[in-house]
Structure formats: C-alpha cells, structure tokens
C-alpha cells in the first residue's frame, strides 16, 4: 500500500511539468490527493490529454497554465492562477529547465541568457509570487529541482552549472528569510535521470566531444555516477513527498543529493 503523506487537499504548482521529472513529480503529488497546476511547453492536444488522464486517474483537480518561465508577468500569473482556482498554494516545485552543451568560447549569448532565465530567474520569480500566499497561510513548501551540477561542474555546461549553483544558493536565502514562518525551501540535486532532456544531451555530447553516442552513455553520462544507475522518478518522488509533508518540517535550506554517489567522488 502506498505511504500516506497527509497531503490531501493541498495545492501545488509544478513548473515544467509537461515532460520528464516535472510530469512525474506532478503525478506523485496528485496520487497523494494534491490538486495540481501543471505548466510547460508541448503539443496542446497532448498536454490536455495528459491533464485529463491524471485528473481521471487520481480524482484530484488538475489545471494547466502555459506560462513561459522567461516572462515575469506570466510566472506571477501562474502562481496567482493556483490561488484563483483553489484559494491557496501549499507547494511550489521549481523544475522547468533545459540544457545546452558547448565550450564557453562558443556558447551563444542568447542561449546563456535564456538558460539562466528559465532555471534561475524563474525560480526567483515564482518564489517571489508564492511567498505572500504562503506567509498568509503560515505554511509553505518550496522545492527547487537543482542538480548534482548545483554542487559540482562538468565541462561544456557553463550556463547550466552556473544556474544550478545559483539555485542552490537562492534556496538557502529563501530558507533563511522564512525560517520562522512555517515555510521551508530545499533543493533536490539529482544525478542523471533518463528524461527527454538527457536523451537530447547524449546526442549533443557526442557532437561536442567528437565520439559516438553509445560511448557517451557509458563514458560520459553514467561515468559520473558510481552506482552506474540512472536516478528513477520514484527516488525523486520519495524525497519530494518527504520534504513537502509535515515530516519534512526541519529540513530547510538543504541541498538533498540523489546522485548515486556522484558528488562523493
Ligand atoms: P524535460 O526536458 O523532460 O522537461 C523540462 C520541462 O521544462 C518541460 O516541461 C518543458 O516544457 C519545460 N520548460 C522548458 N523551458 C520552459 C519555459 N521557458 N517555460 C516553461 N516551461 C519550460 O527535462 P527534465 O530532465 O525532466 O528536467 C527537469 C528539471 O530537472 C530541469 O530543471 C533539469 O535541469 C533538472 N535535472 C534533470 C536531470 C536529468 O538527468 N534529467 C538531472 C538533474 C536535474
């Protein structure tokens, strides 16, 4: 039987939840009785089909807001949409992101700005909009999906590593400013999870390093993880549900590492 985290009736916004980790995290929250606001890009018909299927399967209310994380007014409206739809906001998961792999001296400036915008600045913007609602409630949970790359670096990922280190730092400040208000903020730092983002990286890394894709998988991607296993969605869901439940009340300002031993090396 599934563990009951006592989250029935809570409300969550999960950015970048039309794919990969965000979609899996939204499902894990909905399965616990949390009403969710989905966000992210994709084919509108697929987004609506996925939304309706999650609602049907779990019995919670599932809404979608198409905010572009690069647009401050849209991010703020997405957070307020949760309040308008459900009257509250208990959980914010800042997850939207993308990767770009290139040497620094060839890294396109526009791509740098967009990556910092989607990964780091949108985390600030959504948190900024959510805090007044959470403060009024006297409780809130902010979980930022950072990365092992929030703690250590790899070549050719300058914008991503800078943005994710920024997310870990921003998480600490969010925790400190709200430590006495019933609001926690934590980062989850996964190693490699086999999502569409990583599948695209396999091709990009092959190009940047000039080696075939099958060698990238073993020599580059899982080379970093001592356990030689991708991180599974269930492992991430376990940490997320712990952090957003009452059991997670003492965890704040932390970078929760789920990386098969990568950052221990
Ligand atoms: P993904 O490509 O499967 O999903 C990314 C999501 O972000 C999608 O829903 C996409 O539409 C959304 N998104 C991108 N740009 C957006 C924008 N401007 N506005 C709104 N939504 C936008 O990727 P994923 O692997 O599931 O990654 C999710 C998060 O997890 C990212 O922050 C990523 O850096 C992080 N992460 C991933 C891994 C991994 O191995 N996959 C490891 C560590 C951390």
Q: Summarize pLDDT for 155-172 with one digit per residue, the tens.
A: 999 999 999 999 999 999
How far, in Å, CA of 92 to CA of 186, rounded?
11
Supply the pTM of this predicted model.
Answer: 0.96
In degrees rounded to 5, what are phi and psi of residue 37?
Answer: -105, 120
Q: Ligand 1 pocket: which residues have CB below 6 Å?
A: 16-22, 39-42, 68-70, 95-98, 118-119, 145, 147, 190, 192-193, 195-198
- Dist CA 185 CA 48 (whole Å): 30
Task: Identify the pLDDT of residue 196.
Answer: 82
CATH of domain 11-191+231-258: 3.40.50.720
The predicted model gives 60-76 an average pLDDT of 98
Q: Tell me how far the alpha carbon of residue 5 lies from the centroid of ligand 1, in angstroms.
A: 25
Distance 143 CA to ligand 1 centre (A): 14
Give the confidence band of 194 by pLDDT, cuts at 50, 70, 90.
Answer: confident
Give the residue, by CA position, lying nearest to ligand 1 atom 43: 147
Atom of ligand 1 at shortest range from CA of 117: 18
Enumerate the CATH 3.40.50.720 domain ranges in the chain, comma separated. Answer: 11-191+231-258
Buried b or exposed e, range 120-137, using 16+ CB within 10 angstroms: bbbbbbbbebbbebbeee
The mean pLDDT value of the chain amounts to 96
Rounded Cα distance between 250 and 188, Å, is 15
* Closest atom of ligand 1 to CA, residue 66: 20
Residue 89: DSSP 8-state: -
Give how far the C-alpha of residue 139 lies from the chain's centroid of Cα atoms, to the nearest Å: 20
pLDDT at 95 over 80: yes
């Amino acid at each position: 039987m599934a563990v009951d985290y006592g989250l029935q009736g809570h409300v969550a916004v999960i950015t970048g939840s039309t794919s990969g980790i965000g979609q899996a995290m939204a499902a894990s929250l909905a399965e616990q009785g949390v009403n969710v606001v989905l966000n992210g890009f994709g084919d509108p018909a697929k987004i609506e089909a996925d939304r309706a299927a999650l609602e049907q399967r779990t019995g919670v209310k599932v809404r979608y807001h198409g905010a572009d994380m690069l647009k401050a007014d849209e991010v703020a409206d997405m957070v307020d949409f949760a309040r308008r739809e459900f009257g509250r906001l208990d959980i914010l998961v800042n997850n939207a992101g993308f990767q770009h792999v290139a040497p620094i001296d060839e890294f396109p400036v526009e791509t740098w700005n967009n990556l910092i915008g989607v990964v780091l600045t949108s985390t600030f913007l959504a948190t900024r909009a959510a805090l007044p609602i959470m403060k009024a409630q006297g409780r809130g949970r902010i979980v930022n999906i950072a990365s092992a790359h929030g703690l250590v670096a790899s070549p050719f990922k300058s914008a991503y590593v800078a943005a994710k280190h920024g997310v870990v730092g921003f998480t600490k400040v969010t925790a400190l400013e709200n430590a006495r208000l019933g609001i926690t903020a934590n980062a989850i730092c996964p190693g490699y999870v086999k999502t569409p983002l990583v599948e695209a990286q396999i091709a990009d890394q092959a190009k940047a390093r000039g080696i075939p894709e099958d060698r990238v998988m073993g020599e580059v991607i899982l080379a970093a993880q001592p356990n030689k296993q991708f991180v599974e969605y269930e492992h991430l869901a376990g940490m997320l549900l712990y952090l957003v439940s009452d059991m997670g009340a003492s965890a704040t300002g932390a970078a929760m590492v789920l990386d098969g031993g990568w950052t221990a090396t």
